[in-house]
Amino acid sequence: MAKGKFIKGLFDVITQVQQENKANPKEETVDGKVFDVIKQQIAKIEQKKRDKRAAQGKDPRSFLDLVRNGIDKAQKKNVDDPNVKTAPQDIFNRIKERIEERPRRRAQKGIQRIVQEYNLDVSRLSPQVLQQIQDQYKKDRDGLKQQYAKAINDLIQQQS
C-alpha cells in the first residue's frame, strides 16, 4: 500500500472513531478539536518522512511506530490544553487498535503460510495458543525488520 493510501486510511480510521463516538449515546462526545490534533500529528509525521528527517539518526523507527508516538503526542496536547475537554483514554486506544489491525492480519496470514508450508495440524491448539504464536511471530518479524533497518542505517551513516 502506498504511503498516500496508508495516510488516507489512518485519517479514515480517525474519522470512523469520531463518528462512532458521536453516535454512541453511552459515551460522552469528544470535542472535534481532539481528532483534528491527531490528524495534524499524523500529517507532521508524513511531512517528516517526505523530508527524510525521520529516518535519520541512530535508531530508525517504523512509520507505524511514528504514528503511535504521534497519537500519544496528540493525547498529551489534549491533556495540556485547558480550552478543550480531555478526551477519554479509550478514544486514543481505539484509534491505535484500529491501525494495528492490518499488521495483525499480516501476522495471521504469515502463520497460516507456515502451517500450510510445513503441513502442520494445529486443530488441537486452542485459539488462545494460536493467538500467542501469532503475537510472537509479529514481535519477532518486527524485531528482525528493526535489525535490518538499523544495519542499513548504519551503512548509510558510514557512507556519509
How far, in Å, CA of 144 to CA of 3, rounded? 22
How far, in Å, CA of 36 to CA of 11, rounded? 10
How far, in Å, CA of 160 to CA of 156, rounded? 6
Tracing cell 511514528 back to the chain, one arrives at 66
31 Cβ contact list (under 8 Å, min separation 6): 84, 85, 87
Per-residue pLDDT at 58: 58
Model-wide pTM > 0.75: yes
SS3 (DSSP) at 121: coil
Residue pLDDT, tens place only, 85-141? 999 999 999 999 999 998 899 999 999 999 999 999 999 999 999 999 999 999 999
